[in-house]
Homo-oligomer: A and B are copies of this chain.
Amino acid sequence: MPIDNSNMLKVIEDFPLQCKTALELPKGISVSGKVDKIFVCGMGGSAVGGDLLKIYMQNSKIPVFVVRDYKVPNFVDENSLVFAVSYSGNTEETISAYQDAVKKKAKIVAVTTGGQLGSMAKKVIKIPSGMQPRAALGYTFFPVLGVLVNSGIVDVKGREIEEMLDILSKTEEFKTVGERIAKKIGKRTPIIYASEMLGAVAYRWKTQFNENGKVAAFYHVFSEMNHNEIAGYQNINKNDYIAIFIRDKFDNERIKKRMDVTKEIISTRVDVEEVFTRGEFLLSRIFSGIYYGDFASYYLALANRIDPTPVTVIENLKKKLK
């Protein structure tokens, strides 16, 4: 009996193709007028694209806010560009935040397969349905990025996209590493770390372990973890936890040093695994970092004889909330 009943493996393997398709979706869609703040409203898998946008635009003069809530901040106004991202189109928090953004006269673009949000919003980028939202990250990220490019807010070079697609297409290499990490984790709880800059990549790993693997998983960032969480390792047990560091060759030199020293210190209490992002451009480094984790969570599910696709607990919760 196969465990991967809905073929999550194929969905993850096809991610480079998904990105390619997703890049075409925002064609011709843009906003006009002044934009001095960007907001991405979404929850769970549909919010991750917002986190990634925030990393991608880290050097921008325009702040990016990710809103995982029922309302948008009070400083949303007509110069705000709000993306309402909900894979299903029926996420109650995102619909509520969308309505709040309408009241505040923001420029709004919805990214969704349909649902209520698809009917309500005037400007919609429709994305392919039938997937788990977390598996549709290409479809929820690239349309947002595309609108920003089309609107003259962000400049993405062709060679950034090419490098990313080229790296992700070496799927077998990501699989191998993912499978190795899943084996290493075994029955232990993974705690995933990255620099503050790539914190969203570590968070994505955590949520993929939660949803694909159905196991506890946590994350934190450098250097903040050096100021508190590290003290907790004093009473941590090798059999209970494993630390995973997502490293990037462009991490601040002090962060690199902190990771090295932290590894040395906590290695007496836990095993530490390191994964290095790939590529020269930020886009490649973000998505290669994520792609390793997608496979790791997939193989962890399989090792635990768990079907990675269904998230019954979340479905039950939604029913009880009605």
Contact = CB atoms under 8 A, between A and B. Distances in A.
Contact of A226 (B70, B257, B317): B317
Interface in A44-73: 44-45, 47, 58-63, 65, 68-70, 73
A108 interface: no
Given A68-B196, A241-B216, A228 B210 contact: yes
A70 B215 CA distance: 33
Given A214-B234, A230-B314, A313-B233, A265 B44 contact: no
Contact of A227 (B44, B75, B230, B232): B44
Contacts of A261: 317, 320-321
B210 A314 contact: no
Tell me the number of copies of this protein. 2
Nearest to A65: B63
A61 B75 contact: yes
A45 B62 CA distance: 29
Interface stretch (A1-9, A16-24, A172-180, A217-225): A217-225
A122 interface: no
Nearest to A260: B320
Given A58-B73, A62-B75, 8 more contacts: A44-B224, A68-B221, A70-B255, A215-B232, A230-B317, A254-B321, A258-B321, A265-B320
13 contacts: A45-B228, A60-B75, A63-B63, A93-B223, A206-B229, A211-B228, A214-B235, A226-B317, A231-B314, A233-B313, A234-B313, A254-B321, A264-B320
